[in-house]
């Protein structure tokens, strides 16, 4: 069984054993001839895939928590009934599940986007983040000040909730040191997709 998670800039592919990543605009979707399942937040590509009968859109089987939530966020929330799900990709999405119910979330710019933001403010702020930053005291240099202002305040809030944290996305391993009680699972969205497929009897 082949699964595709199509984002704004990247396509993530899972065949049951390995996960691969491709450029969303450069991937040749029509070369895929077998039956595949997908979710997509990329409206342009979603429209194109409607022409291929072998591409099965799983979003039609999902009732969204609220109308504008991304299908990828919904799907990862389906696999954990209690905890904080963080997807660290082009944007960082945070969603809270409590006793099987969705309790809300928020969205931050991703690491690359935020670094670009600081860079446009001043060349003096063009620095990397410190993922080993201690959160128990205020920063005393520019690099740590930037990290604390962006990632530190975010991590402190997450840790204060006392929930298990489930991290996924391309930058998950980089931000992992900032969190307590954390699990990194690259294929979390695919576990959610498989749950939909099994529950709907699509396989």
- How many angstroms separate the most distant Cα atoms in the chain? 57
Q: Which of 1, 30, 54, 53 is nearest to 193 (CA)?
A: 1
- Phi, then psi, of 114 in degrees rounded to 5: -70, -35
Under 8 Å between Cβ of 86 and 159: no
Q: In what order do the strands lie in the sheet with 101-109?
A: 101-109, 91-98, 83-88, 165-168, 182-184
Is the sign of the CA dihedral 43, 48, 50, 55 positive or negative?
negative
Residue 26 neighbours by CB under 8 Å, 6+ apart: none
| Euclidean distance between CA atoms 81 and 192, whole angstroms | 12
25 is a catalytic site residue = no
From the candidates 72, 87, 144, 171, which is the catalytic residue?
A: 72
Under 8 Å between Cβ of 89 and 169: yes
| Euclidean distance between CA atoms 115 and 147, whole angstroms | 10
Active site residues: 72
């Amino acid at each position: 069984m082949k699964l595709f998670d199509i984002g704004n800039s990247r396509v993530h592919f899972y065949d049951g054993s390995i996960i691969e990543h491709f450029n969303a605009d450069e991937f040749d979707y029509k070369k895929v001839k077998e039956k595949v399942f997908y979710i997509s937040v990329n409206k342009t590509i979603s429209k194109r895939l409607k022409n291929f009968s072998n591409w099965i859109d799983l979003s039609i089987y999902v009732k969204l928590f609220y109308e504008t939530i991304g299908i990828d966020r919904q799907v990862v929330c389906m696999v954990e009934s209690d905890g904080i799900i963080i997807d660290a990709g082009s944007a960082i999405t945070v969603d809270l599940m409590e006793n099987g119910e969705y309790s809300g979330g928020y969205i931050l710019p991703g690491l690359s986007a935020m670094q670009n933001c600081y860079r446009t403010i001043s060349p003096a702020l063009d620095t990397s983040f410190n993922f080993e930053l201690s959160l128990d005291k205020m920063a005393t240099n520019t690099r740590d000040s930037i990290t604390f202002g962006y990632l530190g305040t975010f991590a402190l809030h997450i840790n204060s909730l006392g929930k298990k944290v489930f991290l996924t996305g391309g930058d998950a391993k980089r931000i992992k040191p900032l969190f307590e009680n954390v699990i990194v699972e690259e294929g979390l969205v695919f576990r959610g997709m498989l749950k939909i497929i099994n529950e709907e009897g699509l396989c």
